[in-house]
């Protein structure tokens, strides 16, 4: 049995005390594998006993498990409590799941980002469950006057086999809550798992399909007013003046005023990103009334001069220059071309220059990716109520702890007086990491001295940032007389960051490898977008590898395996990020499950594989083109994410990656003219339609006992190239620029 110490985060387990009174049920495992007695399961206990920050147990045996991280569709509100329940040995049919509020004393890394929730929470969640189980056993041992080693557990019960005594957890919870917390607790072996590795339905499924209010946009409070903001129509502009005379006299309007979300001297932290800090706020009784008043506003804007802003990137201080000007797409392309000539070397193995000088064949290709908008289905929103030196707020948020720090700095309210209630996210994948709208909501509430809910229109969201950067990558490959890959060079950058991960494959698999990066300053705000940077560089790299394989006369899947075998047997360099064995494993599994090498009439196939967020994903995409329309018939994918917690949820995540990636690759694009994006709503920004989704998706997981790793993002980057490579097979034309639909039309 594994032993874990809770010394790393002991504060999570020190709060052991009885908690009287009930708690609100936010969700219940309504589709469990059996049908328990509803009166027994759903009847709220008269008294709860808190065993640690994650768990409280009622005197009737009902167990509440807190889900610490925000829920945005990745199903961690099921999977994270499931890990706790496994070590607790709880009866899952008698578990209530509650969304935890932001609580930095009891929980660490309470945010969505980097596909790290399960990976980073794995040990803490298991320790919480195991600690509670230990306390219950100690309580039973004291009650029954036997040695604790003689007591075992079965789902929801404590058992002393020698005497035949048995008690449900609730009977011992009161005493258990008074027991001392151990320094170390034993954890189950994987072979002992009953819950982990088996599929469990989403605990919020019934609430979602029946339309129960779960999202921030649903949030209501007595006396709540509605607020909206007016921001500049283009990046590079700032507020000059406004005339609110017409809007102020309209029905339902309470107030109109200027706000500043960040002070000029403010040192921004990692996620304090926003293009516009000088705004006009409109406050009124209803959404419709405020929207109408917003349309009646007359606002003047002016261009700002180049300035510098202070930033703290997790302890690394810097001054970032924000250039003046109203940017245009053509000018951006020109700056990219100029910057690419001055790349900075970030990795160099062997002698790439000599390899290219002596090459029998050189392949060189350039790939481009446009700005992308997140387009969350739920527009940005947040509730805030500032009362003196206290603030209560609620809404969809990916990084609550970091945002809490920003609110504290801006409003001068102590962090301990800020309460953030996390609602379900109606889409995120980076967009809700940069929660400037929460700060705006708090500033507005403070100004009007009332509870308010700030709501962005779709146009607010799409024109105000934050975007996936605009990228470009040029690849070169050198082949010798025997078609061996002897040199590899990538030069990549973007507005305003480069997309390169220099130590990822094929680094380590090529003797002469060279990676260069560059960046173009811009006043257009960019930020995290599902699988940041990987979402572009994987598409370019994996498309290029297919073309290199063709030039070498090799099967594209076998070509990748050949390179990985070399990285395994004779790795080049010492800083390679990936494990060649695991990478080979997903490709071998994909090869088998997709029946690679077997052609089908009228079907074109593309393959791609990528490592990111600590996991490996490989895909084969089958498509056909009928009447000029692309139809993806099937996608088979193999994934190695370590131990799979909840296969049902894991497959859903991987399927979502595929559909999302195909839609973005085919249609996603945003360009700028005079600083303004050329699309501001779904009538212009093309999204994938249901009929365009793959007819079938198969997901296969590598069997593994490695600790679980990321899953919300790893399946997203490779599907771009799987699609591009399949389109080449269908059309005879390589796809170098996104979106692909434009090239098909051209």
State the pLDDT at residue 404.
86
Nearest to 257 by CA among 228, 232, 291, 222: 228
Looking at residues 184-206, what average pLDDT do you find? 94
How much is the pLDDT for 498? 97
CA distance linking residue 235 with residue 431, whole number of Å: 18
Task: Check if CATH label 3.90.1170.50 holds for domain 216-308+380-455.
Answer: yes
Give the confidence band of 577 by pLDDT, cuts at 50, 70, 90: very high
Question: pLDDT tens across 123-154, in order?
Answer: 999 999 999 999 999 999 999 999 999 999 99
pLDDT of residue 680: 95
CA distances from 624 to 11, 239, 634 (A): 57, 51, 10
Residues 305-336: tens digit of each pLDDT: 999 888 887 778 888 899 999 999 999 999 99
Task: For residue 379, give the DSSP letter.
Answer: P
Band the pLDDT of 120: cuts 50, 70, 90.
confident
Average confidence (pLDDT) over 101-116: 78
Distance in angstroms (rounded) separating the CA atoms of residues 581 and 40: 49
The C-alpha atoms of residue 583 and residue 275 are separated, in whole angstroms, by 40
The mean-pLDDT minimum among 58-72, 99-113, 450-464, 548-562 falls in 99-113
CA 714 – CA 658 distance, rounded (Å):
10
Element (H, E) at 47: strand 47-50
Strands (E), 410-451: 418-422
Q: What is the CATH number of domain 43-192?
A: 3.30.365.10
With H, G, I as helix, E, B as strand and everything else as coil, classify residue 23: coil
What is the pLDDT, as a whole number, of residue 746?
67
- Half-sphere exposure (CA, 13 Å, Cβ side) for 248? 9
Better pLDDT: 4 or 554: 554
Task: Note if the pTM is more than 0.85.
Answer: yes
Distance between CA atoms of 384 and 613, rounded to whole angstroms?
Answer: 34
pLDDT at 402: 82
pLDDT of residue 316: 84
Record the tokens describing residue 360, joined without a space: 């029998």
The contacts of residue 587 (CB under 8 Å, 6+ apart) are 557, 560, 561, 564, 609, 618, 638
How do residues 472-527 score in pLDDT, each as one tens digit? 999 999 999 999 999 999 999 999 999 999 999 999 999 999 999 999 999 999 99
Q: Where are the domains of the chain?
A: 43-192, 216-308+380-455, 343-372+468-743
Q: What is the pLDDT of residue 9?
A: 37
Q: What is the mean pLDDT of residues 23-34?
A: 29
Q: Domain 343-372+468-743 falls in which CATH fold?
A: Aldehyde Oxidoreductase; domain 4 (3.30.365)
For residues 542 and 80, give the distance between their C-alpha atoms in angstroms, rounded to a whole number. Answer: 33
Listed in sequence order, the residues at least 6 apart from 630 whose beta carbon sits closer than 8 Å to its beta carbon are 623, 666, 692, 727, 730, 744
Tokens (6 digits) for 363 = 């392949």
Whether 15 shows a pLDDT value over 60: the answer reads no
Please state the φ and ψ torsions of residue 202, each to the nearest 5 degrees: -60, 125
Q: What is the pLDDT of residue 71?
A: 87
Instruction: Report d(CA 486, CA 512) in Å as an integer.
Output: 6
216 vs 101: CA distance, rounded Å: 14
pLDDT at position 10 over 80: no
The reply to whether domains 43-192 and 216-308+380-455 share a CATH topology is no
> To which H or E segment does residue 86 belong?
helix 76-88
Write the pLDDT tens digit of every residue in 679-689. 999 999 999 99
- pLDDT score at 303: 97
Q: 350: Cβ–Cβ under 8 A, 6 or more apart, which residues?
A: 511, 512, 513, 572
Q: How far, in Å, CA of 421 to CA of 430, rounded?
A: 19
Q: Specify the range with the lowest mean pLDDT, choosing from 127-131, 265-269, 654-658.
A: 265-269
How much is the pLDDT for 540?
A: 98
Q: Residue 28 pLDDT more than 70?
A: no
Task: Identify the band that residue 240 occupies on the pLDDT scale cut at 50, 70 and 90.
Answer: very high
Q: Please state, for a pLDDT cut of 70, what percent of the chain lies above it.
A: 94
The answer to whether residues 72 and 112 touch, using CB atoms and an 8 Å cutoff, is: yes
Residue 388 preceded by cis peptide, ω within 30 = no
CB 269 within 8 A of CB 310: no
Distance between CA atoms of residues 475 and 364, nearest Å: 6
How many C-beta atoms surround the C-beta of residue 34 within 10 A?
Answer: 7
Question: In the chain, what percentage of residues exceed pLDDT 90?
Answer: 77
Does 464 have pLDDT greater than 50?
yes
């Amino acid at each position: 049995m594994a032993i874990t110490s809770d010394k790393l985060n002991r504060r999570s387990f020190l709060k052991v005390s009885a908690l009287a009174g009930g708690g609100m049920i936010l969700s219940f495992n309504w589709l469990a594998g059996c049908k328990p007695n509803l009166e027994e399961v759903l009847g709220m206990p008269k008294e709860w006993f808190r065993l640690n920050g994650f768990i409280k147990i009622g005197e009737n045996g009902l167990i509440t498990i807190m889900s610490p991280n925000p829920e945005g569709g990745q199903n961690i509100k099921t999977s994270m409590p499931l890990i706790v329940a496994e070590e607790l040995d709880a009866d899952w049919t008698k578990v209530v799941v509650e969304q935890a509020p932001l609580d930095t004393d009891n929980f660490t890394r309470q945010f969505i980002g980097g596909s790290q929730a399960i990976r980073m929470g794995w040990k803490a969640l298991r320790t919480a469950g195991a600690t509670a189980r230990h306390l219950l056993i100690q309580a039973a041992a004291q009650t029954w006057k036997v040695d604790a080693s003689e007591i075992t557990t079965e789902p929801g019960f404590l058992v002393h086999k020698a005497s035949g005594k048995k008690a449900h957890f609730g009977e011992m919870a009161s005493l258990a809550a008074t027991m001392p917390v151990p320094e170390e607790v034993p954890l189950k072996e994987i072979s002992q798992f009953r819950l982990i590795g088996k599929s469990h339905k989403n605990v919020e499924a019934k609430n979602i399909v029946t339309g129960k209010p779960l999202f921030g946009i649903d949030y209501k409070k007595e006396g709540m007013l509605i607020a909206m903001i007016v921001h500049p129509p283009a990046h590079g502009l700032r507020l000059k003046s406004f005339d609110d005379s017409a809007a102020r006299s309209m029905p339902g309007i309470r107030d109109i005023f200027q706000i500043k979300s960040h002070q000029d001297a403010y040192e921004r932290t990692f996620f304090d990103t926003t293009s516009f800090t000088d705004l006009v706020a409109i406050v009124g009784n209803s959404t419709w009334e405020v929207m109408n008043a917003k349309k009646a506003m007359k606002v003047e804007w002016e261009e700002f001069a180049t300035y510098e802003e202070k930033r703290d990137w997790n302890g690394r201080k810097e001054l970032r220059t924000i250039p003046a000007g109203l940017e245009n797409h053509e000018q951006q392309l020109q700056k990219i071309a100029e910057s690419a000539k001055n790349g900075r070397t970030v990795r160099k193995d062997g002698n790439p220059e000599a390899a290219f000088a002596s090459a029998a064949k050189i392949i060189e290709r350039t790939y481009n990716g446009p700005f992308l908008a997140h387009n969350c289905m739920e527009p940005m929103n947040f509730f805030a109520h500032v009362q003196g030196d206290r603030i209560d707020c609620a809404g969809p948020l990916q990084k609550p702890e970091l945002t809490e720090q920003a609110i504290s700095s801006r409003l001068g309210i102590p962090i301990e007086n800020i309460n953030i209630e996390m609602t379900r996210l109606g889409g995120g994948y980076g967009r809700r990491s940069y929660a400037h709208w929460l700060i705006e909501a708090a500033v507005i509430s403070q100004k009007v001295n009332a509870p308010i809910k700030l709501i962005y229109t779709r146009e607010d969201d799409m024109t105000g940032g934050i975007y996936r950067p605009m990228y470009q990558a040029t690849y070169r490959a050198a082949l010798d007389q025997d078609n061996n890959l002897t040199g590899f060079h990538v030069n990549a950058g973007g507005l305003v960051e480069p997309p390169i991960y220099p130590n990822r494959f094929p680094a380590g698999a090529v003797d002469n490898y060279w990676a260069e990066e560059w960046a173009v300053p811009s006043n257009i705000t960019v930020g995290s977008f599902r699988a940041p940077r990987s979402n572009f560089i994987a598409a370019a790299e994996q498309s290029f590898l297919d073309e290199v394989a063709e030039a070498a006369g090799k099967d594209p899947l076998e070509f990748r395996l050949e390179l990985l075998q070399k990285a395994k047997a004779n790795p080049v360099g010492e800083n390679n990020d990936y494990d060649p064995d695991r990478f080979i494993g997903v490709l071998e599994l994909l090869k088998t499950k997709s029946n690679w090498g077997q052609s089908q009439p009228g079907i074109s196939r593309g393959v791609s594989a990528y490592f990111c967020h600590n996991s490996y994903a490989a895909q084969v995409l089958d498509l056909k083109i009928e009447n000029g329309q692309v139809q993806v018939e099937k996608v088979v994918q193999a994934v190695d994410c370590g131990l799979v917690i909840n296969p049902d949820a894991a497959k859903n995540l991987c399927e979502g990656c595929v559909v999302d990636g195909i839609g973005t690759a085919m249609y996603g694009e945003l360009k700028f003219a005079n600083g303004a994006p050329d699309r501001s709503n779904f009538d212009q920004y093309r999204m994938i339609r249901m009929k365009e989704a793959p007819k079938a998706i198969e997901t296969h997981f590598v069997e593994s006992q490695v600790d679980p790793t990321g899953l919300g993002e790893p399946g997203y980057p490779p599907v771009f190239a799987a699609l591009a490579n399949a389109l080449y097979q269908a059309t005879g034309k390589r796809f170098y620029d996104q979106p692909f639909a434009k090239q098909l039309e051209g």
